[in-house]
Amino acid sequence: MDVISVLQPENHVERRRPMLRRPAFRAFPEEAVQEAVPTASMGALVREYPAALSAPVLFFVAVAVFFMLSPVLQYRVGLFRLGGLSLPSDAALDSAMRSLALPAATAAELSGDAARDLPLSIRSVTYSEYRVRKGDTVNSILARSGLKSISTLLSANGIDNARRIREGQNLRVPSMDGLIHSVSRGESLERIARRYSVPVTALLDANDLSSSSIAVGQKLFIPGATLSARELRKAMGELFLAPVQGRLTSPFGYRSDPFTGVRSFHTGIDLAAPTGTPVRSTLYGRVATTGYSNVYGNYVILTHDDGYQSLYAHLSSISVRRGQTVEQGVLIGRVGNTGYSTGSHLHFSVYKHGKMINPRTVLN
């Protein structure tokens, strides 16, 4: 029987293995290389190429493994890499965050004794300029300037409504808390000092005066002084003015219907006045709507800050239009007898976040 010799791959590789020990610069037969590589062990490769364990090679291998495994590490281990994020400025968000960090103070919280924080040593007042940025409020500017009293910024800049500062507006910021006082005829430095309960020396030092001689119209800085509670309420938009000078004929709450006598809820107050008497806006605001209804006759609704709305009804004429901005005390219409009415009067209602409130609780 003929014997068939089968060439085993292992034997074949063994015969070619000595060729792997030749210097790297020598040319290997292509057939030998193709057969040798599949069976070469890691140990043999390391012995043949010791540079494979060098520091640079190991470093690049480690980096490659890290990047290949990074998706797994992110979702299973929690190693997340955050790049630089650039978000657009949101004035509404900035304002909301400032409101959380610096809640808007009420006039009652801001009013106080004029000289309670007056330092023992007073230097001449100096002024710096601040340009209002997007989203700024008087409270945030006050905190940034290091001052304590909102009266200081209001007085130094003649601001009569703290909610109406605008972007780009330049404000004067004094170096200390206090008020600006304009000298009137007949006033003396001693009289002004008594009015604000501050020492005369404080006025001399703060205004860098060498004598107590002052002139009519001269501007003096009164250190430590604050606005009155009423002035602060007005500046903070908390002072509701009576829309008309009239006699209260029907209060807020339950009453007998003037036509049917049935007990019903009256949603505002009635102020009797002659037809044609001017009706003025109780607060700064915007005209939400105007119109006519069978109940209210000619009416105007204004929207104010802090969720307030005011209704003026039974008007004989309307002097504003929808969308118009009105200052406090501006003419919006005239008293009349239109709609469901028994005589010439103004029906006045106030709402807070859509809920009726008694107008007499907010009117000055």
Domains of the chain: 9-76 (no CATH), 92-235 (no CATH), 247-361 (2.70.70.10)
Confidence check: pLDDT of 107 > 90:
no
Task: Label the pairing between strands 355-357 and 345-352.
Answer: antiparallel
Give 295-323 pLDDT, tens digit per residue. 999 999 999 988 899 999 999 999 999 99
Alpha-carbon gap, residue 301 to 309, rounded angstroms: 7
Per-position b or e across 135-163, b if 16+ CB within 10 A of its CB: bbbbbbbbeebebbbbbbbbbbbebebbe
SS3 label, residue 89: coil
Instruction: Say what the pTM is.
Output: 0.51
CB atoms within 10 A of CB 348: 25
SS3 label, residue 131: strand
Res 27: pLDDT: 52
CB 313 within 8 A of CB 299: yes
What 184-193 contacts at long range (C-beta under 8 Å, 24+ apart), as own/partner pairs, is 184/216, 185/216, 187/214, 187/216, 188/212, 188/214, 189/214, 192/220, 192/222
Res 74: pLDDT: 56
Mean pLDDT of the chain: 79
Give 144-160 pLDDT, tens digit per residue. 888 988 899 999 998 88
Confidence check: pLDDT of 16 > 60:
no
CB 218 within 8 A of CB 183: yes
Alpha-carbon gap, residue 364 to 361, rounded angstroms: 8
Q: In angstroms, what CA-CA distances link 43 with 18, 33, 47, 51?
A: 16, 18, 6, 13
Alpha-carbon gap, residue 4 to 326, rounded angstroms: 113
Among left, alpha and beta (phi > 0; psi -120 to 50; other), residue 158 is: left
Confidence check: pLDDT of 294 > 90:
yes
Most confident residue range from 52-56, 106-110, 187-191, 259-263: 187-191
Res 68: pLDDT: 76
Res 51: pLDDT: 66
Res 52: pLDDT: 64
Res 19: pLDDT: 53
Alpha-carbon gap, residue 275 to 345, rounded angstroms: 7
Res 258: pLDDT: 83
Res 213: pLDDT: 92
Q: What is the mean pLDDT of residues 92-104?
A: 46
Give 338-361 pLDDT, tens digit per residue. 999 989 999 999 999 999 999 998
Percent of the chain with pLDDT over 70: 71
Confidence check: pLDDT of 2 > 60:
no
Nearest Cα residue to 178 out of 145, 230, 217, 222: 222
Res 356: pLDDT: 93
Binning pLDDT at 50, 70 and 90, where does residue 76 land?
low
Looking from the CA of 137 toward its CB, the CA atoms found within 13 Å total 20
Res 31: pLDDT: 53
Most confident residue range from 59-68, 95-104, 223-232, 265-274: 265-274
Least trusted range by pLDDT, from 92-106, 200-214, 256-270, 277-291: 92-106
Confidence check: pLDDT of 99 > 60:
no
**Which H helix or E strand runs over 59?**
helix 55-72
Amino acid found at 348? F
Res 117: pLDDT: 59
CB 344 within 8 A of CB 317: no
Q: In angstroms, what CA-CA distances link 313 with 262, 291, 310, 354?
A: 21, 10, 10, 17
DSSP output for 157-185: TT-S-GGG--TT-EEEEESSSEEEEEPPT
Confidence check: pLDDT of 84 > 50:
no
Q: What is the mean pLDDT of residues 214-218?
A: 94
Confidence check: pLDDT of 54 > 80:
no
Structure tokens at 71: 């998706």
Q: What is the mean pLDDT of residues 237-265?
A: 88
